[in-house]
Amino acid sequence: MWSRFRREHQWQIRELLLTLNLLSRNASAVAGCIIVAIMVFMAVFASLLSPYDPIRISLAERLKPPSAVHLFGTDELGRDILSRIMHGARISLRIGVLVVLIAGGLGALTGAISGYVGQQVDNLIMRVMDVILSFPPLVLALALAAALGPDLNNAILAVAFVMIPKFARLVRGEALAVKERQFIAAARAAGAKRLWIILHHILPNCLASVIVLATLVLGEAILIAASLSFIGLGAQPPTPEWGAMVSVGRKFLMDQWWYATFPGLFILTTVIGFNILGDAMRDILDPRIRR
Amino acid sequence: MRLLNYALKRLLYSIPVLIGVTLLVFIISHAIPGDPARMMAGQKASREAVQNLRRSMGLDRPLPEQYLRYVAGLAQGDLGKAIRNQRPVLDDLKDFFPATLELTSMSMIFCIAVGLPLGVISALHRNRPIDHTTRVFSVVGVSMPVFWLGLMLLLLFYRDLGWLPGSGRLDVGLSPPPHVTGMYLVDTLFEGSREKFVNCLLHILLPAFCLSYVYLAIITRIVRSAMISVLGLDYITTARANGIREAVVVLKHGLKNALIPTVTITGLSIGELLGGAILTETIFDWPGMGKYVVDSVNFLDFPAIMGFTLVVALIYVLLNLAVDVLYAFLDPQIRY
């Protein structure tokens, strides 16, 4: 079965191997991969790795500075900040992945429909996207999250909504190019329905650029969701979300510097990881600037 | 004349977008929360009080009618009343706008004053250490949680070094300048008080830098890539071959043309700065619209939040329009 799969998909496999090869020779791609891998590892094994329970309160240990016992110190309820950061990786990555799945799925589908069907449908969909793009992302996400109510899942929905146009515009552009190719005409001549063509021909052909955009959006989504949590609209206590931790740590900034510093450092590092990986992938996957 | 035509056409084109913007804000504020009247009245209000409020707000009417009333209200500058203080939201926003305008303008000055030279230098020293440093600087910039950067700046410059004040627009002991524009930097000049002007300047440095860092990173990258592509063109080689001094080639022939894409991104950044201002103003206790909206979030003051959202979107759309017209003015090849 494997050999048959290999025969049928030999071009895709070659392309994938070439891409991986180019990625491994690109220093910033490797750096991005390592950062992302560490965060994923931390998220998956948070319960095993973290030295303490992230939500257990121990008032005797409150606001202790970084030491060998508590590497990043403790918070105002005596919880170990390192353990909370490790569990926070789970939350941040879940936010990023969910936003990308929702926004990427909806955005790619509407974009493909817009580009392939064209005319009135295209016009309508793109004007709706223009309207969404008429708001600074954080402002619209804030308004939506506030209307839906302060809760992590609502914040995820709000951020996903704001990200839809990015995917829709990208896929629309690609769909416009793909739809002129001959195999689409062949499929249509063979009697394929519009939706079938969109799902089986248009979308798979946009996959590479959607993956690149998804990597970049993942970082941005983590950033905006953390900002919402910082304002008080995302994760609620005692959830160990990084943005929410910085928000509480702010009250102790002048005397307990470590509280706000470390969670924020992890937000920054994670987003850098996704951004440089995404940038490197874009350079490699775009044949015009492939070196 | 053709430019004027274009500007008018572009203005007409933004009308449907503006209608869409009001529709989206209307949907968010009227359709998504379970019951706006209940939210206005507060959790403790009796059922009758909520009913009365619903009727007086017109929430028992069909949605399309509510939307038309909402737009009619907007046309008269009615953004609703803030729940907190029962003042019209527009009046509140007017009070807080100058502080935000002052902060974003200062950030924009930072962005251009630092981003432009940095981009040019990186382009001239492509793939050398200074270019790599700038690249790292910009990647960190676009990945930076603004609220965390603000806190770190406070730790360093306020707590440890004690160089700059940590919050507000003026020292507590000083009285605010008489209101002319509402922007303290300008008003203190009118007042003629040097001491206050310097004090204001010291107060604005940290928040303005914090707010500008992300866009500084973006502008640096855009200038760099625009400069690289312009400097590779034939007319630059010709200019050099004619023996024109390198500085003139770079600044007059090169930068002038590289500025066109920079204008677009700068214009769009001003809109984005309004988003970043939400976080920066909260960190530095800067009494602008951003801090106002975060305070409103804590009170679940929906009319205030939605009023802010709408006003920012309007500013954003108008800025886009201005940038497009400016773009057409700068580059005569572009006429849509």
CA A125 to centroid of chain Cα atoms: 24
pLDDT mean across residues, chain A: 89
Kindly list the residues from chain B whose CB atom is less than 8 angstroms away from the CB atom of residue A247: 147
Rounded to whole angstroms, the Cα distance separating A19 from A22 reads: 5
What CA–CA distance (Å, rounded) separates A28 from A202?
Answer: 31
Interface contact flag, A261 B154, Cβ < 8 Å = no
The dihedral over CA atoms of A66, A67, A70, A72, expressed in degrees to the nearest 10, equals: 30
Distance from the Cα of residue A23 to its chain's centroid: 20
Q: What is the pLDDT of residue B231?
A: 82
Contact between B13 and A123 under an 8 Å Cβ cutoff? The reply is: no
Tokens of B77: 């500058």
Torsion over CA: A169, A175, A180, A185 (sign): negative
Q: What is the pLDDT of residues A106-134, one digit of tens each?
A: 999 999 999 999 889 999 999 999 999 98
Lowest mean pLDDT among A92-106, A218-232, B180-194: B180-194
CB contact under 8 A, A131 and B275: no
Hey, is B286 helix, strand or coil?
coil
| Nearest neighbour of B275 by CB, restricted to A132, A138, A246 | A138
Query: Does B312 contact A131 at a Cβ distance shorter than 8 Å?
Result: no
Q: How far are the Cα atoms of A226, B17, B96, B135 from residue B90, in angstroms, in the given order?
A: 29, 22, 10, 42
Interface contact flag, B278 A142, Cβ < 8 Å: yes
- Taking CA–CA distances from A263, the nearest residue in chain B reads B148
Alpha carbon distance A274, A250 (integer Å):
26
Determine the Cα–Cα distance for residues B198 and B115; give it in Å rounded to an integer.
24
Q: Supply the DSSP symbol for B176.
A: P
Locus of tokens 């106002």: B292
Identify whether the C-beta of residue A135 lies closer than 8 Å to the C-beta of residue B309: yes
pTM, rounded to two decimals:
0.88
Question: How does pLDDT run across A43-71, given as a tens digit for each residue?
Answer: 999 888 888 888 888 888 888 888 888 88
User: Shortest CA distance to A93 belongs to which of A34, A38, A141?
Assistant: A38
The CA distance from A245 to A84, in Å, is 9
pLDDT of residue B32: 64
**Does position B243 have pLDDT exceeding 80, yes or no?**
yes
Collapsing DSSP states into helix, strand and coil, what is residue A228? Answer: helix
Is pLDDT of A291 > 60?
no
Percent pLDDT > 70 in chain A is: 98
Residue B319 and residue B268: Cα distance in Å, rounded? Answer: 7
- Across the range B93-119, mean pLDDT stands at 91
Angle of helix B2-26 relative to helix B302-330, nearest 10 degrees, comes to 160
- Helix ranges, A25-80 (H): 27-44, 46-49
Residue A232, classed as helix, strand or coil, is: coil
More confident residue, B333 or B11: B11
8 A C-beta contact, residue B308 and residue B93: yes
Identify the burial level of B64 via C-beta atoms within 10 angstroms of its C-beta, where 0-12 means exposed, 13-18 middle and 19 or more buried.
exposed
pLDDT at B6: 82
Q: Is the pLDDT of residue B119 over 70?
A: yes
Give the separation between CA B272 and CA B321, rounded to whole angstroms.
Answer: 15
Average pLDDT over residues B166-180: 81
**CATH code of the domain occupying A72-285:** 1.10.3720.10
Least confident of A83-92, A203-212, B47-56: B47-56
> φ and ψ at A74, to 5 degrees?
-125, 165
pLDDT at B211 over 60: yes
Distance CA A285, CA A288 (A): 9
Closest CA to A263 of A83, A1, A35, A41: A83
Q: Which long-range contacts (CB under 8 A, 24 or more apart) does B323-330 make?
A: B323/B263, B323/B264, B323/B267, B323/B268, B324/B10, B325/B3, B325/B6, B325/B7, B325/B10, B326/B263, B326/B267, B327/B260, B327/B263, B327/B264, B328/B3, B328/B6, B328/B7, B329/B3, B330/B259, B330/B260, B330/B263
Q: Which residue has the higher pLDDT, B175 or B278?
A: B278
The residue whose two tokens read 């954080």 is: A138
What does the pLDDT read at residue A262? 94
Distance (Å, rounded) from C-alpha B37 to C-alpha A229? 26
* C-alpha closest to that of B139 among A22, A41, A35, A88: A35
Q: Which of A143, A149, A249 sits opposite B305 (nearest CB)?
A: A143
Q: What is the predicted ipTM? A: 0.88
- The answer to whether the Cβ–Cβ distance between A142 and B146 falls below 8 Å is no
Interface test mutation site (partner B, options A134, A140, A259, max chain B beta carbons within 10 A): A134
Residues 6+ apart with CB under 8 A from A281: A23, A29, A211, A212, A215
CB atoms within 10 A of CB A145: 30
Residue A2 clears pLDDT 90, i.e. is over it: no
pLDDT higher than 60, residue B336: no
The Cβ of residue B40 has, within 10 Å, a number of other Cβ atoms equal to 20
User: Nearest-CA distance from B116 to chain A in Å?
Assistant: 22
The residue extents of the domains of chain A are 72-285
